[in-house]
Chain A
């Protein structure tokens, strides 16, 4: 358990560094993939319970802290995204990489809209326009492309092997 938390904390920090540094140094105007959201989707698919939800909330709070401006919008987006993944994954087979891509794309849009709604309620009502919508779409598309690779890396790592052991009903 502690090991899984540590791995997710490390992955979240690494994701924040890559989003904040590497992506922009490759191309300044680039829209970075939302690594925190991808971790939330992974959490929801592998730990679809209250504990996983708390983990998603903590990842959202970390993203809020990274911005240092408001607490809550990213966290709320992560919670809604987590619930959306659970709802969808109960209806469709979500293990295939194409399904994961579509799932990530959809919940990323949901997260982006939740974030915007929070800002519109608390900061400024006239915030949303088509250009902001374009950023939501682009971020979702890029996150969807990156998601299967990142999830594969997480799944073959220590977290994945422990999960497979737990799924087979064996003692980890």
Chain B
């Protein structure tokens, strides 16, 4: 018996460890806090290194661009002079538009207070795995962040916060396979759920075949579920297929922001949960 165990110790260990993996997976799906706790610990080690690397590359880029790489600066200066003149002319027109806009807003009783505040953040890292779509940002619980806050770039949805450390946080991108967002098609108000594909595109699900979803149609958040505010732009419909089997059609969406090249994002915090300024 002892010989058997000695002879097959590797396979027996592998079997035990594989069973542990299955058990870990089941437990982590039921209790997301467990992987998040480990993630926070590991992130606490990795985030400062990522932040330092990001800062040093930004510094090196600045030095290179401003002081070393000066080829064509004279031509660029002359071109910029022309652009300044054009922009000054444009600016005077924009001032007119601004005052007109202000007047129209007053007429429509537009509320400036949206009930949210934004925390601008810099992207300092990405997920080490090619399978998980997350980014690491340089703001954390010290800035009022907590898990399950919407993250945007302009008015376009980027994802939601998951693991939050004191000075960094992980953001699950909408393209991750585990991401799901309640949405509506802006034109005809058809509800659906946008899921990530693990690639650069999204998929709109649970839209019946009878309902026409136009290519080019804008998909916005529905505001359900308490994570994403209503009206954030998720993406644009690029392809629909009503020939697939089942009750629902297949709709492909292109996110409205290039998630591979994100540099700065904004975390949206509901005003009532934001910490008060000292």
Is the CB of B91 closer than 8 A to any CB of chain A? no
User: How many Å lie between the Cα of A15 and that of B128 in the bound state?
Assistant: 8
* Chain B positions within 8 Å of A50 at CB level: 9-10, 13
CB distance from A11 to the nearest CB of B (A): 13
A149-163 interface (Cβ within 8 A of B): none
Question: Taking the nearest CB of chain A, how far is it from the CB of B58, in angstroms?
Answer: 10
Q: Is the CB of B38 within 8 A of A68?
A: yes
- Chain B interfacial residues counted at CB < 8 A: 57
Q: Which of B41-49, B106-114, B186-194, B206-214 is the interface stretch?
A: B41-49
Contact indicator A64/B35 (Cβ below 8 Å): yes
Q: Tell me, yes or no, whether B199 is within 8 Å of chain A by CB.
A: yes
What's the nearest-Cβ distance from chain A to residue B101, in Å?
A: 35
Return chain A residues, CB-CB under 8 Å to B4.
Answer: none
A71/B27 contact (C-beta < 8 A), A28-B261, A57-B17 known? yes
Asked if B128 contacts A16 (CB within 8 A), the reply is yes
Min CB gap B28→A, angstroms: 4
Cβ of B80 under 8 Å from chain A: no
Quick one: which of A41-80 are within 8 Å of B by CB? Answer: 48-50, 53-54, 57, 60-76, 79-80
Could you tell me if B129 and A66 are in contact, using CB atoms closer than 8 angstroms? yes
Find out whether the CB atom of A71 lies under 8 angstroms from the CB atom of B172.
no
**Contact pick for A65, options B41, B54, B131, B177, CB 8 Å:** B41
A70 with B39: in contact, given A20-B46, A135-B130 (CB under 8 Å)? no
Beyond A20-B136, A50-B13, A139-B130, whether A69 also contacts B172 by CB under 8 A is yes
Is A110 located at the chain interface by the 8 A CB criterion? Answer: no
Report the minimal beta-carbon distance from A9 to chain B, rounded to whole angstroms: 11
Q: Are B25 and A74 in contact (CB under 8 A)?
A: no
> Once the chains bind, are A32 and B130 in contact (CB under 8 Å)?
yes
Please tell me if the beta carbons of B128 and A32 are within 8 angstroms of each other in the complex. yes
Chain A minimum-CB-distance residue to B258: A28
**A118 contacts across to B, CB distance below 8 A:** 21, 25
Q: Tell me which residues across on chain B come within 8 A of A72, comparing CB atoms.
A: 21-25, 28
Binding site for B on A (CB under 8 A): 13, 15-17, 19-22, 24-25, 28-29, 31-32, 34-36, 48-50, 53-54, 57, 60-76, 79-80, 82-83, 86, 112, 115-116, 118-119, 122-124, 127, 129, 131-132, 135, 139
B binding-site residues for A, Cβ under 8 Å: 9-10, 13-14, 17-18, 20-29, 32, 34-36, 38-43, 45-46, 49-50, 53-54, 57, 124-132, 134, 136, 162-163, 170, 172, 176-178, 195, 197-199, 260-261
9 CB-based A-B contacts, threshold 8 Å: A21-B54, A25-B53, A28-B260, A32-B128, A35-B128, A62-B42, A70-B25, A118-B25, A127-B198
